[in-house]
Structure 1
Amino acid sequence: MGVGHGGTRLVVVRGNSASGKSSVAAGIRERFGRGVALVGQDNLRRIVLRESDLPGAANIGLIDTVARYALDAGYHVVVEGILYADRYGDMLAALIRDHRGVSHCYYLDIPIEDTLTRHATKADLAYRTRVTERELRTWYRERDLLPGRLETVIGADSALPDTIDRIMNDTGLAGLPAHDN
C-alpha cells in the first residue's frame, strides 16, 4: 500500500532524550516553510493520548496514521522522537517501505553525559524537576539503531545548524519550494 507520492519527503529523527530531536525537527520546518508536517512522538503519546511508552501502545499506530495521512495530503513529514527500535522499528520500516517518495532516517548519537548536561538547560523547569537524572539514565539506550542500516548517525560534534543543513541537503528539501497555502 503506497503512501505519499514521488515528490514527498519522509524524514525520521531519532535519539535519546535531550539529543536535539525536537530542535532539529523544528529547524527543518522553519527553514523549509509551509508544507512540512511535524509528527512528534511526545505530542501524540503524552499530550494526545496521555499514554506511557510501552511495547504495542496505541501511540505507535497513531504516529503511523498521522504520518501517512500527511504524506498522502502532499506534506513532507518529519517524524521525531526517542522511538525505541524494539517498539517502533517495525512501524517505521513499514512506513519507509510504503512511502513512494524520498525517505531518510537519522539517529542523533549523544553520550549520556551530554544528555544530562542538555537536560539541565531545558527551559521547562517543571519538566526538569519531574524528570530526574535517574530517569534519564533508565531511558538511555546507547546506539539504539534501527535494523537494516536505515539510519545516518549524527554525533554530538554536529552543531544544530549543521545538522539541519545536512538533513535539508540529504533529503532534497533544500531545493524544493515551500507550499503557498
Structure 2
Amino acid sequence: MKLVVLRGNSGAGKTTTAQALLTRLGPTTLLLSQDTIRRVILKAPDRVGTPAITLIQALITWGQDQSFETIILEGILKKSVYGPMLATLKQQWGAQMLTVYFELPFEVALKRNQMKPNSFDQATLMSWWQANDLLGYEDLRFGPTVTLDEQVQLITEKLSVL
C-alpha cells in the first residue's frame, strides 16, 4: 500500500496528474482531492483547524481499511495549514509515502488556470499563492517543462520501487 501526495499552487497540474495516475494505476487506486473535500463536501475555509484535515485523515484510513493499493491525495495543501498532518502521514507511512511538489512561476499557473472552464481571476490566484511551499522531504519536484506523460512516468517508476 502506497500514499502519493501531490502538492503545489492552483494551476500547477496536480489534478490533471492525479487523474492520469488514477487511469494508469486502475481501480485499486483511491483519489482524494483537497478541493472536493474542503470546498464541496465541507464548505470549510482553508485555515489552521479546518475540518478538512480530520476528514482527509479519516478517508486515508478508510482507504487503507478497504485495501486500496495506492491512495493519491492532491491539493494545494499549504504547509501553514496541512504541514502537521502531512508530517504525521510521513511518520506513519515512511518510505511508502511519495511526496511530489509542483513548482511553477505564477505567470505559468495563471495561464493554465485561464484555460479551465471555471477559472479564477488573477487577484484570487495571487491571494492563494504559496511561493516555495516545500516540506523538506519531497521525493519529486516538477517544473513547467516536465510534461504530463513524464510526470506520470516518473511517479509510476518511483512507486514501483517503494
Q: Shorter-normalised TM-score: what interval?
A: over 0.9
In the alignment, structure 2 segments of 5+ residues that lack a partner are none
Of all paired residues, the percent bearing the same amino acid is 31
Moved more, 75-84 or 148-157: 148-157
CA distance in 2, matches of 1:136, 1:156: 17
Q: TM-score, with normalisation over the residues of structure 1?
A: 0.84
Matches within 5 A, 1:68-147: 68-75=61-68, 76-99=70-93, 102-122=96-116, 124=117, 127-128=118-119, 131-146=120-135
Q: Is the 8 A contact 1:14 1:108 kept in 2?
A: yes
Q: SS state of the match for residue 110, structure 1?
A: coil
- Residue among 36, 42, 48 paired with 1:43: 36
TM-score by length of 2: 0.93
AA in 2 matched with 1:115: A
**Contact 2:8 2:102 (8 Å CA) reproduced:** yes
Q: Structure 2 CA distance, aligned partners of 1:32 and 1:151?
A: 19
Shift in Å at residue 93 of structure 1? 1.3
d(CA) in 1 for partners of 2:127 and 2:94? 37
Q: How many residues align?
A: 161
Q: CA RMSD in A?
A: 1.6
* Contact 1:12–1:106, Cα closer than 8 Å, also in 2: yes
1:72 Cα deviation from its structure 2 partner: 2.9
Give a deviation string over 1:21-44, Cα, whole Å, max 9, x none.
001110101011111101110010
SS at match of 1:74: coil
The residue number in structure 2 matching 1:176 is none
Does the Cα contact within 8 Å between 1:44 and 1:59 map onto a contact in 2? yes
Unmatched runs of 5 consecutive residues or more in structure 1: 1-7, 174-181
- Give the 3-state SS of the residue equivalent to 1:77 in structure 2: strand
- For the 8 Å contact 1:11–1:104, the answer to whether it is kept is yes
User: Conserved in 2, the CA contact under 8 Å of 1:15 and 1:21?
Assistant: yes
1:11·1:105 contact (CA, 8 Å) conserved in 2?
yes
* Matching residue's letter, 1:67: I
- C-alpha distance in structure 2 between counterparts of 1:100 and 1:118, whole Å: 33
Query: What whole-Å deviation, never above 9, does each CA across 1:40-89 have from its counterpart, x for those lacking one?
Result: 10010011101121111100111111012102321110000000011101
Question: Are 2:47 and 1:59 aligned?
Answer: no
- The one-letter code matched in structure 1 to 2:80 is D
Q: Does 2:4 match 1:11?
A: yes
**Alpha-carbon distance between aligned partners in 2 of 1:71 and 1:168, rounded to the nearest angstrom:** 20
Structure 1 segments, 4+ long, off by >2 Å, are 148-152
